[in-house]
Structures are given as structure tokens and as C-alpha cells.
Amino acid sequence: MPKTAPDLETMRHSASHVMAQAVVALFPGTKLAIGPAIDDGFYYDFDCPHQFVPEDLPRIENRMREIVAAQQKFSRVVRPKEEAHKILESAGEKLKIELLDGIADATVSFYENGPFSDMCRGPHVAHTGEIGPFKLTSIAGAYWRGDETRPMLQRIYGVAFATAVELEAHLKMLEEAKARDHRKLGAELGLFSIDNATGPGLVLWHPKGARVRLAIEDWLKAEATRRGYEWIFTPHIAQLSLWQTSGHADFFRENMFEPIEVEKAAYQLKPMNCPFHILIYKSRLHSYRELPLRLAELGTVYRYERSGVLHGLLRVRGFTQDDAHIFCAPETIESEVDGCIDFALAALKTFGFEKYAVELSTWDPQKSGQYSGAAADWERAQKALETVLQRRDIAFSVKQGEAAFYGPKIDFKLIDAIGRSWQLTTIQFDFNLPEKFDLEYVAEGGERRRPFMVHRALLGSLERFFGILIENYAGKFPLWLSPVQVKILTLTDAQAEPARALAQRLQAAGLRVELDLRPEKVGAKVRDASLEKVPVMVILGPRDVAAGLLCVRLRDGRQLNGVREDEVVAKLKSEISERRLTSAL
């Protein structure tokens, strides 16, 4: 039988120890940092005088297989901290000593297998023979404790599964993921760049990438307006005192840039849009008749992320959220959450994602100091979100302790074309900020009451969502999202003017068109347009011009000869207006 997830986590963590054992044996002088299990695999960080190269991985794997075949027993040994300190000091394990010094307990555990010993909480499998099929996949640099001011360590990643079939499937997925890497495709297709002159994690949208972004934004704006949202704009910076009132300065400090001084007052680049939306709500007293008030913004925020975790469009320092905040009476909170879920499902379907997983993130009452608000409010809020999911018959898992500091949340994680999971929609219940900002509305009886608030982001960040789209479609966007929808290729210079006239007519019909008038062979032009992943090519030769017809070549290789222009335009416009994910031609 396949192993359960907890068994896999234990097995993967054990595999990291075996990898460390192999590395220490093969490369004398190696010092150890940490080696956790992660999704699908494991890694270990090393301080090693040898610079690892890809050719080292097979050597390490072979030594690991010898250790696995030996079925070395994992033994847990508990030692007093003082004794542990002496052992680590004699071994020169300075990084482990730093970890030891941060442990409050009087004792710590070591796990020993064969000649190898490592300070670790565990647990581990019974013996190394229980470690399933594995593969070392990559080498990377990693700052010690994620701090770029600390030493750069070397990290080796691996994957491990219960069966060889699962491992093989995962390795094929990794190869496919490399081909779909949004950073590689973004450069090849001229969609975006990140330049050292602007700084890490700050995205420059190129014209073609901006066309895709505008198509996404246009859909969001039109759909949100149809669903009763009002659009607003807010600043990129505010006085630090605003973030102190909201609680972000306390609970979100590590993700905020340092304040800047303006006329002796501290100002903060905004990490969130919500306090601004609250101020708009609070600018006047509202009646119950005006609620719910749904405020939406494509708001750019700035969050400090360590350089070691930045990753293309998927982890950045400046990004635009499709953000909205709903202010409503307590009795309508469930219907508003339901409306957000309906909007989320519509977004997933529109952009071509049929599979998803849902998580309900709750607070951890044992760590109440990490959250704002009373226990009774938390329980009521969590119950409301759970009720809506159950009413919709949506399966979900509970993630205790993963709520935002101000309230519980529902997260949608989409499953892409090659089976990977991505965090997307978040719907968050907030009873804390209305209290902190003393928000009110006039109820039907004339008394003043406190509104509830819902934070809602459908696509999360436009940057991250764009990266996900690139990888999901491998750069082959559906027609309505493609930066160039039609490319006109001429056979000779004689077709240049007819091609320009055709381009003008197609542009007037609302299509995004480019011309290729280069004095190149048409085969080379078709190849280049295919590499650019253009969905529709029109090949214009003398016979086509004379007959007033078009030769259309599609991205999938099909070619349609002698097609009327009005027929092509009508079908393409229909495909775009309906946002079809497959070709109408």
C-alpha cells in the first residue's frame, strides 16, 4: 500500500540525514546546518570547502544507496544541553551550536545511524532501508537562516517517494516544469524583465507582457463592476502611524520596508491596501441601506523579501493585488463570503483552471498572542466560513494556526496543467480592523453598530498570477490572452502594402496584430512566429492578394487555404469575446 503523507514526511526527513551522512563521508571538512523535509522531497544545507557541481550528485546518490542497503537503525539519544554543546564544539559544528543555543529545553535529541550522528528533533523511520526511491535534483546557494548578511551555504535538493512509479512521474513533471519556467519563457517571448538597476524583486512589464496584463485587468474590472464593486485608487505610501493603528507594524513588521522620514514624520511604503480602504469607508457615516459596500482596487504594495527567496514573478518585492474589501452588516457576512467564492470559481474557470483545492486557515488558541481579537470572535468567524463551504458542498482541509493575524481565511489552490498546486484566491474574515478603526454604520433602528469586513483577492498578485499563466500554458496563451493574436507574413516585398492595409483592418476589428515584412524566406518567418507562440499566422502571397483570400496557419500546425477575411475576423472576434480556451478556427 502507498505510504500516508505523515510517513512520507518522516521518510523524506530521514533521506536528508542519509544525504548528509554521504556528503560528510565524501567531502571531509563539511559542516552541517539544517535538513528538513519539504513538499515532494528534502534538502540539506552544508558549509563545505568543496564547491558542489552537478557531477557530484551521482556520487552522493551512490553512497546514499549503500547506506540505505545497509539498513542502518535510527536511534534517538537524548542529551543534556551542556553535553550536546561539548560534542558539537569538538566536531567544529558552529552552525549546530547556534541552533542549540536557541533551544530553551534542558535537553536535546540526537539521531544516530551507523557512524553518523545529527542533532535533530526527529522523527525518523526505523532504519535506512525504509527510505523509498529518491533522486538528488539540484544545487543552490542559501544564506544561513535566510539572512543575506550571514554566510552563504550550499544546499542540495532531493525528491523521494514511496514507489519508483511515483518518483518517475515526478521527475518527468520536473523536466516539464523546466521547459515551462516563466523566467525562461518571459525572456524568450519578451514579456517582462527584472533588472539590477531597479533592484531585485521589482518587475518591468514589457509591451507584450503588458498586453496580457491589460486583458486580465479588463476582465477583472468588468466582472467586479457587474458584481456590485466600486473601484477606488489609493496612495503607495502613508504615515507609519496608520500601520500602527492597523496592527501591521506589530504583526507584519518583518515583511515591511524600513520607514522613511518626510518633514520629521515617519512614512511607510504600503504592504497592504486594507487600511486605505478602511479610511475611505470611515470618511463618512454609512446607513445600513448602503451596505454591503464593496471597494475594489488594483493596488500595488511593497513587501520586504530576503533576496535568497526571490523567484522571478512568483516571489517579488513590489506587486499589484486584485484587492477588495467588503463592509457589511453581521447578518449578511455569510452571503458576502458566498459571493466571493462564486467570483473565485468564475475566475478559475475563465483562465482555464478546472482543478483546485480549498483550505480553511484557523487560529491556534494555544498561540493566541500571535493573533488579534477575542476567542469568541475567532470561533464565530471560523464557523461562518466553514458554514459557507459546507453549504456549497466544497471539500476543504483545515490548517490550524495559518490564519492571518486579524481573522480566519479561505484559500483556493489551483492545480495547473502538469499537476502543480499554486496558492491563488484568499477570502479573509476580519472583525479586528473594524474595531481598531472604530468603524460604524447606522442600523435600521437608528443605533450605531460595528460592521464586519471581508478581505478578498481573487488572483492574489498580478505578477505571480502572470507567472503561473505562463507556466500553465507553456507560453501558448489562448487567443484572448495572447500578446500577439495575429501575425501577417509576406512572401515578397510586393505584398508589403496589402499586408499593412490588412493589419489596419484587423486592428480596427480589435485584434492585436504584428507584421513580418522582412526579406526572409516564408519558412523562416513561420518558424520565428511559431517560436513566439503566436496563435494565428496569415501568410500573404501574390495569389492570395489577387484572389482577395487569406492563407491562415494556426499554432497547432493546421493550415487553412483560401479563407475569406470576414469569416476569419468573425471567428476570431467570437473566440475572443467568449474567452474560449481552444481555437474557433
321 assigned to active site: yes
CB atoms within 10 A of CB 15: 27
SS3 content of the chain, % helix, strand, coil (to 5): 40, 30, 30
Cα-based distances in Å from 392 to 342, 351, 352, 385, 412: 10, 22, 21, 11, 14
Backbone angles phi, psi at 77, to 5 degrees: -125, 125
**Facing residues of 196 across strands?**
none
182 assigned to active site: no
Entry field: residues in the chain: 585
List the grid coordinates of 143: 544564506
Q: For residue 35, which amino acid is it?
A: G
User: Exactly one of 21, 321, 382, 428 is catalytic; which is it?
Assistant: 321
User: Exactly one of 48, 274, 340, 551 is catalytic; which is it?
Assistant: 274
User: CA triplet 523, 476, 169: central angle to 5 degrees?
Assistant: 115
User: CA triplet 518, 519, 524: central angle to 5 degrees?
Assistant: 75
List the grid coordinates of 495: 505584398
User: Exactly one of 170, 455, 456, 553 is catalytic; which is it?
Assistant: 455
User: Exactly one of 180, 303, 456, 487 is catalytic; which is it?
Assistant: 303
CB atoms within 10 A of CB 362: 21
**Facing residues of 423 across strands?**
413
User: Exactly one of 40, 45, 118, 323 is catalytic; which is it?
Assistant: 323
105 assigned to active site: no
303 assigned to active site: yes
323 assigned to active site: yes
Backbone angles phi, psi at 275, to 5 degrees: -60, -35
3-state class of 205 per DSSP?
strand
311 assigned to active site: no
325 assigned to active site: yes
| Cis upstream peptide for 133 (omega within 30°) | no
By C-alpha distance, which of 67, 69, 25, 61 is closest to 46?
25
Which residues are annotated as catalytic? 274, 303, 321, 323, 325, 409, 455
